[in-house]
């Protein structure tokens, strides 16, 4: 039996709160896991940005990535390390680079998911490019925007095909509003997507490997209240539909850390936004759910590091399409997709690993979130987003919600 060190890297941008909590809980765990005939210990540090030799080996076994969706240097280092050094990273950097909301809509429509009717329209304006004018003069066709809007159906949402963070999104109730939204859209390539109205519930399902968390979501609330502190009372059968939908999407694209938005209309869950492969992880948004996120992150990264989980570089969509092309009812197809997802996420092995080696993790997290270090992590994040005169107010608000989580989730040993 050998002593083996597994190194976990955090590739970070503006993240403050969850990395501090992750690092401190891992330190407190002081793990020495007997696995595969070895005693495995863990080390975590933060990935730096610097020049690199393409043949330079990586010191990490697993990287938790929060940069590749926008920062190219880190993305290219991660891609190099996956290909040349066997690095495991979540999420798949090639999928993040090449897949956007448009691809995710098309792919899940192909699988039969009840995505709202969606059109794409050419942009109102263009960045100057060689041959642009001659291309447009030869091939671009005038179109009746009002007619497109009527084909989609009002009300609808105009939103960038690859957007995020609500940038460029507008609700459109009629033809006049559609023309205004289009005139104001600049160079955005827009989706026009029929609104799911009426609906009686809006949820977000956060997926982290085979782990999921269902949260009722209120997009009309201020940012700090959009994630509510409940799941909307979703019945178990419907909950399974949302979980299976989320795991299908995540396993399909290699986005093991992702979130799926869905609205319930007449008992049917309609996914509307699920290309969120760098989902909000801040205490200022998640508050009550923040300890769950830290715990889920630790579980999955420790499992991947300890077992040397192999990175799935090629996404391999054909098994999903084989199910999609059958005549089975959609519910049966979804169950089939979810079975693929559970296999790809090694769900049984993961749950066994956690039960064997991480049984004390919940208690450590519960205890940690009653410490000055945890409180300071919350305060530091609040201080970056709120004016000085509101820092105390919102720090105490989010801390109170975390304490409510602790009341609702005492460790099993009491």
Query: pLDDT of 343-394, one tens digit each?
Result: 999 999 999 999 999 999 999 999 999 999 999 999 999 999 999 999 999 9
pLDDT at 292: 98
Asked whether residue 267 falls in the same domain as residue 369, the answer is yes
Where among 179, 194, 209 does a domain terminate?
194
Answer yes or no: do 129 and 94 share one domain.
no
- Are 252 and 388 found together in one domain? yes
Residue 14: count of CB within 10 angstroms of its CB = 9
Please tell me whether residues 251 and 305 are part of one structural domain: yes
Report, in angstroms and rounded to the nearest whole number, the Rg of the chain calculated over CA atoms.
Answer: 23
CA distance 379 to 272: 33
Q: Are 159 and 245 part of one and the same domain?
A: no
Quickly tell me which residue has 């994630």 as its tokens.
Answer: 227
Tokens of 305: 């590091």
Whether 163 is covered by a domain: the verdict is: yes
pLDDT band at 413 (very low <50, low <70, confident <90, very high): low
Query: What is this structure's pTM?
Result: 0.95
pLDDT tens-digit readout, 213-222: 999 999 999 9
Q: Which pLDDT score is estimated for 213?
A: 98
The whole-number pLDDT of residue 166 equals 77
Which residues are CB-neighbours of 66 under 8 A, at least 6 positions away?
A: 10, 11, 12, 13, 15, 278, 281
CB 149 within 8 A of CB 156: yes
In a domain, 366, yes or no: yes
As a whole number of angstroms, the distance between CA 35 and CA 360 comes to 17
Residues 62, 165 share a domain? no
Tokens of 11: 């590739």
Q: Specify the pLDDT at position 381.
A: 98
- Residues 248, 124 share a domain: no
Do both 176 and 213 map to the same domain?
A: no
- pLDDT tens string 196-211: 999 999 999 999 999 9
Taking the C-alpha atoms of residue 153 and residue 150, their distance in angstroms, rounded to an integer, is 5
Percent of the chain residues past pLDDT 70, beyond the cut:
100
In a domain, 104, yes or no: no
The answer to whether residue 103 is domain-embedded is no
Both 175 and 306 in a single domain? no
Q: Is the pLDDT of residue 34 over 80?
A: yes
Residue 167 binned pLDDT confidence (cut-offs 50, 70, 90): confident
Q: Is 327 exposed, middle or buried (0-12, 13-18, 19+ CB in 10 A)?
A: exposed
| Final residue before a domain boundary, out of 158, 173, 194 | 194
* Residue-wise pLDDT tens digits, 290-300: 999 999 999 99
Predicted pLDDT of residue 168: 87
Angle at 266 between CA 263 and CA 272, to 5 degrees: 20
pLDDT tens for each residue of 225-278: 999 999 999 999 999 999 999 999 999 999 999 999 999 999 999 999 999 999
pLDDT at 311 over 80: yes
> What is the predicted pLDDT for the residue at 412?
83
The reply to whether 106 falls in a domain is no
* pLDDT classification of 163: cutoffs 50, 70, 90: confident
182 and 144 belong to one structural domain = yes
Q: How many domains does the chain have?
A: 3
Percent of the chain with pLDDT over 90: 96
CATH of the domain at 53: 3.40.50
| Preceding omega of 198 cis (within 30 degrees of 0) | yes
CATH of the domain at 154: 3.30.1490.20
Nearest to 157 by CA among 133, 176, 143, 173: 173
Written as six digits, the tokens of 80 are: 């190099």
* 217 and 346 fall within a common domain: yes
108 lies in some domain:
no
β-strands 257-265, 3-11: how paired? unpaired
Q: Are residues 343 and 294 in the same domain?
A: yes
| Mean pLDDT over the full length of the chain | 96
Of the listed ranges 147-161, 362-376, 400-414, the least confidently predicted one is 400-414
pLDDT surpassing 80 at residue 189: yes
> Is 112 contained in some domain?
no
159 falls in which pLDDT band (50, 70, 90)?
A: very high
| Domain boundary pick from 194, 220, 255 | 194
Rounded average pLDDT over 399-410: 98
> In the structure, what pLDDT confidence band is assigned to residue 164 with cuts at 50, 70 and 90?
confident
Supply the range of the domain harboring residue 267.
201-408
Considering all CA atoms of the chain, what is the largest pairwise distance in Å, rounded to the nearest integer? 73
């Amino acid at each position: 039996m050998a002593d083996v060190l597994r190194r976990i890297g955090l590739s970070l941008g503006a993240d403050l709160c969850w990395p501090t909590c992750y690092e401190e809980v891992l330190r407190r765990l002081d793990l020495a896991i007997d696995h595969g005939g070895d005693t495995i210990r863990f080390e975590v540090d933060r990935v730096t940005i610097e020049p690199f030799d393409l043949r330079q080996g990586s010191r990490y076994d697993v990287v938790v990535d929060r940069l590749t969706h926008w920062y190219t240097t880190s993305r290219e280092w991660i891609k190099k390390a996956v290909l040349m050094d066997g690095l495991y990273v979540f999420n798949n950097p090639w999928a993040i680079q090449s897949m956007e909301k448009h691809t995710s809509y098309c792919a899940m429509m192909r699988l039969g998911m009840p995505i709202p009717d969606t059109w794409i329209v050419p942009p109102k304006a263009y960045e100057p490019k060689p041959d642009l004018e001659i291309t447009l003069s030869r091939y671009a066709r005038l179109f009746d925007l009002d007619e497109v809007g009527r084909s989609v159906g009002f009300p609808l949402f105009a939103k960038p095909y690859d957007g995020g963070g609500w940038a460029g999104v507008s609700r459109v109730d009629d033809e006049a509003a559609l023309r205004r939204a289009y005139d104001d859209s600049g160079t955005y390539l827009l989706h026009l997507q029929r609104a799911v109205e009426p609906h009686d519930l809006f949820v977000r399902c956060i997926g982290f490997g085979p782990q999921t968390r269902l949260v009722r979501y209120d997009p009309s609330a201020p940012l700090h209240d959009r994630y509510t502190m409940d799941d909307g009372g979703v019945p178990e059968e419907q909950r399974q539909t949302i979980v299976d939908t989320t795991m299908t999407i995540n396993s399909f694209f290699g986005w093991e850390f992702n979130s799926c938005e869905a609205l319930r209309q007449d008992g049917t869950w309609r996914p509307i936004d699920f290309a969120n492969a760098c989902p909000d992880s801040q205490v200022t948004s998640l508050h009550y759910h923040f300890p769950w996120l830290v715990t889920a992150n630790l579980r999955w990264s420790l499992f991947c590091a300890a077992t040397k989980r192999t990175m799935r570089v090629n996404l391999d969509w054909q098994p999903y399409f084989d199910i999609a092309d059958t005549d089975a009812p959609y519910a049966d197809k979804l169950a089939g997709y979810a079975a693929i997802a559970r296999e790809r996420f090694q769900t049984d092995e993961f749950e066994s690993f956690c039960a064997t080696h991480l049984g004390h993790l919940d208690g450590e997290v519960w205890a940690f979130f009653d410490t000055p270090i945890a409180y300071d992590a919350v305060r530091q994040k609040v201080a970056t987003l709120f004016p000085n005169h509101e820092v105390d107010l919102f720090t105490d608000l989010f801390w109170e919600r975390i304490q409510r989580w602790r009341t609702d989730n005492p460790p099993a040993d009491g």
